[in-house]
Structure 1
Amino acid sequence: MQTKFSFHPGERAVQERAGEAAMAERNGSVIADTILGGARPFIAKQFMVVLASVDAGGAVWSSVVYGQPGFVHADSATVVTLDVPAERRADSEPFWDNIRFNPAVGMLFIELGTRRRYRINGTIERDDCAAIDIRVGEAYPNCPKFIQRRHLRAQGEFHEAGGVATGAAIGGLVATLIRAADTVFVASTNADTGADASHRGGNPGFVQVTGERTLRIPDYAGNSLFNSFGNFELDPRVGLCIPDFAGQRLLQISGAARVLWDQPDPANLTGGTGRFWEVEIASWVLRQVPQRLEWEYLDASPFNLPTAEG
């Protein structure tokens, strides 16, 4: 039996301030503590999962893990299994260490080629050398807006990739990747509801580098739930993951977020919301994906808005 979902105080505060509380209440009716029947085969088809986690020092991280279809599956409506054996867990991926210290996990199953996505937040209940099981806390579908369509043409075998770089200041290749990004995965956390994984997308340039350690991102109109912003209201810790589809890399950023309300927006970068959010970077990791991935870009979202670069 499904439990009626209720928003936490941070989400309610943001929904009220945005004037979208009534819409959030209607849209939130899809949130449940079990996985929709039709979502279970969708999950089993996926070759990637976006993961949100919190490390031993409290920093929040966003990750993407790849595998052959079926490596993630939900054999029941209440548990998701990641069949990733220990030898296929990249040492450079923070997620695997993080779950040893904090069992909260956010998951986003996003099929870029069809713009379908499904979101699950839960808690690790089994972690051994073969797989992990995650007990579902919240599960719900998300709207397809602002997703750039891509098709994965081929995926190679796992290998422990080298080429890991770390830092805090933005410059060089890191700045180039951020300015070219059209897809960003966002991790946030809440003391009561756990970790959450989300998606932001737009035309290249929608993520602005505004300082040596600061980013600025417009907030477009969405489903009115404000899960990420609601978490930021109570806990500013944030993780970003920016995939470099052409370069076979992932840029992972951890820091703190701040929502900016009622901002001047003469270029209409926010599409009328007047909201931006800033990320103060504490650290970043740039690493190779441990599989060879051949992506084909299909098209941009028809909802994308202009960027500061034009």
Structure 2
Amino acid sequence: MTSNAMPPTARKTATVKNRITTAEQLEAIIGRPSAMVRKKELAELDDACRDMLALASLAGFGHLDAGGHPRTTMIGGSPGFAHPESPTRLAIATDLDVSGPVSFVFLLPGVGETLRVNGTVTERTPGRLVITVEQAYVHCARAILRSRLWSPSGQQRLTTGDPAQRGKDAPGRPAASRLPEAVGDHLRPPAHAGTPGQPPADAEDPGGPLSEPGVRDVLAATPFLVLSSWDGDGSSDTSPRGDVPGFVRVVDGHTLAIPDRRGNKRADTSRNLLTDGRTSAAALVPGSTDVLRLSGTAVPTDDPDLLAGMAQGSAVPQLALVVTVEHAEVRHNQALADANVWDASGHADDATRTELMASTTRQLAAKTPALRGLAKLLAVFARLLRRAIDATYRRALRKEGYDLPTPDTATGAGDRHVRQNG
């Protein structure tokens, strides 16, 4: 399905102030990505991408259904479920019946960086999709760091209800019983109007998709989601968003606002929304096998009142995405359960993370002649380079108002070390 026709709009459409409508407006706010960031964008899967795919056990997956409606879910279940058959041909183990443009965010448990891959389905057989790769990009660790997605401390207060019902859904009803009943103190959501995951007290129209069972519980607890969008040519992109729980603000029963904080200035999602408003997302809660799936339309805005309400410390987001939600549901996700990503014993170890750093260093050097002579040297000192980059990330995040302990890596392993020994 490659049609760019917009699906029917939701019953209620959000009124958005300071809506951004042009690329020029967008760049005036966030700037342009650096040449180094652009060099990380590939037209095929290189060795670094292959190394990441071999470790990835889960991916956020964006696609359009047969009616042209946006959909995002989690797929996978075990490392290597996505297998590169050539630099431009990627085989995915999944039972989903999908065609047309698709996009992925591959997650590597215990690793801060993610791998984004965009392409088109060119072959479908039972249990298998083949994707022609059009773009690959190693995404920086900020989303994982902000969310502390792989830190086991975020799961210490997880409750699961009836053990006999774990991993199961009641017929015709979302399973919300596996969601945390409390959020750890170290993951308190930012202060903003209204209770996290719930509309402010004066919000109109409290009904709508966001009042479906379990939806607001997930929104109050989630520190991480993957967000899919499409451009004017129909190409798909899925990117990670990580923050403290409650970072997604519920405006009313039909409307969400997602902060867009400082990053690499690519702004792929916002750029896509300028030409095609369709969007969808999948939100995770550490320790839970439930996934909240949302879909609708969205617009970027720099409305100062809205942004001020989503400040983290003294740092105000550059933009926000206002989403008119047409569909929302919480469901058990078998891929997430099979991947067992919340078990820290299965996370990548320090040696693996160091080798990934060496691999991505070689990737960048291959496209940067000035760095080619340093590539081998940088790879030798990959562990020190890993620590230096992690420290840079964390200094930047502390300036944004995030309370992050000093880690061993960008993945949360250092958080574990601090708590066990402090």
Q: TM-score range by the shorter chain?
A: 0.7 to 0.9
Instruction: State the alpha-carbon separation in 1 of the partners of residues 251 and 118 from structure 2.
Output: 32
Instruction: State the alpha-carbon separation in 1 of the partners of residues 341 and 57 from structure 2.
Output: 13
Specify the alignment match of 2:150 in structure 1: 150
Instruction: State the alpha-carbon separation in 1 of the partners of residues 232 and 303 from structure 2.
Output: 28
Distance change (3 Å), C-alpha of 1:46 and 1:170: same
Distance change (3 Å), C-alpha of 1:130 and 1:112: closer
- Pick one of 248, 261, 264 that aligns with 1:207: 248
Structure 1: unaligned runs, 5 residues or longer: 1-9, 90-95, 153-159
Q: Which has the higher strand share?
A: 1
How far 1:191 moved relative to its partner?
A: 3.5
Q: Which amino acid aligns with 2:55?
A: K
- Pick one of 225, 230, 239 that aligns with 2:271: 230
Instruction: State the alpha-carbon separation in 1 of the partners of residues 56 and 220 from structure 2.
Output: 28
Q: Which amino acid aligns with 2:169?
A: G
1:80 matched to 2:59: no
Which SS does the other structure have where 1:234 is aligned? Answer: coil
Deviations 1:196-215 (A, max 9, x none): 11110101111111111111
Q: Which amino acid aligns with 1:117?
A: T
Structure 2: unaligned runs, 5 residues or longer: 1-20, 153-166, 175-207, 346-392, 403-422
CA contact (8 A) 2:56 2:109 kept: no
Which SS does the other structure have where 1:176 is aligned? Answer: helix
CA contact (8 A) 1:149 1:297 kept: no
Specify the alignment match of 1:17 in structure 2: 28
Greater mean deviation of Cα atoms: 58-67 or 169-178: 169-178
Deviations 1:47-96 (A, max 9, x none): 11111101122211111112221221113211111133xxxx3xxxxxx2
Q: Which has the higher helix share?
A: 2
How far 1:136 moved relative to its partner?
A: 0.5
How far 1:268 moved relative to its partner?
A: 6.6
Specify the alignment match of 1:217 in structure 2: 258
Specify the alignment match of 2:57 in structure 1: 47
Specify the alignment match of 2:342 in structure 1: 295
Specify the alignment match of 2:311 in structure 1: 269
Which SS does the other structure have where 1:43 is aligned? Answer: helix
The list of structure 1 runs, each at least 4 consecutive aligned residues, that deviate by more than 6 angstroms after superposition, is: none
Distance change (3 Å), C-alpha of 1:247 and 1:29: closer
Which SS does the other structure have where 1:146 is aligned? Answer: helix
Greater mean deviation of Cα atoms: 67-76 or 279-288: 67-76
Q: Which amino acid aligns with 1:181?
A: T
Distance change (3 Å), C-alpha of 1:218 and 1:244: same
Instruction: State the alpha-carbon separation in 1 of the partners of residues 73 and 302 from structure 2.
Output: 28
Specify the alignment match of 2:360 in structure 1: none
CA contact (8 A) 2:106 2:116 kept: yes
Specify the alignment match of 2:104 in structure 1: 107
RMSD of the alignment, in Å?
3.0
How far 1:286 moved relative to its partner?
A: 1.6
The 5-angstrom pairing of residues 110-189 of structure 1 reads 110-147=107-144, 148-150=148-150, 162-163=169-170, 165=173, 168-170=209-211, 172-189=213-230
Distance change (3 Å), C-alpha of 1:149 and 1:176: closer
CA contact (8 A) 1:52 1:195 kept: yes
CA contact (8 A) 1:106 1:120 kept: yes
Specify the alignment match of 1:247 in structure 2: 288
Specify the alignment match of 2:45 in structure 1: 35
Specify the alignment match of 1:281 in structure 2: 325
How far 1:247 moved relative to its partner?
A: 3.2
Identity %: 22
Deviations 1:167-220 (A, max 9, x none): 724255211110111001101112325111111010111111111111112110
Distance change (3 Å), C-alpha of 1:17 and 1:134: same
How far 1:162 moved relative to its partner?
A: 3.4
CA contact (8 A) 1:161 1:289 kept: no
CA contact (8 A) 2:228 2:281 kept: yes
Instruction: State the alpha-carbon separation in 1 of the partners of residues 214 and 27 from structure 2.
Output: 40
Greater mean deviation of Cα atoms: 273-282 or 163-172: 163-172
Distance change (3 Å), C-alpha of 1:282 and 1:134: same
Q: Which amino acid aligns with 1:69?
A: P
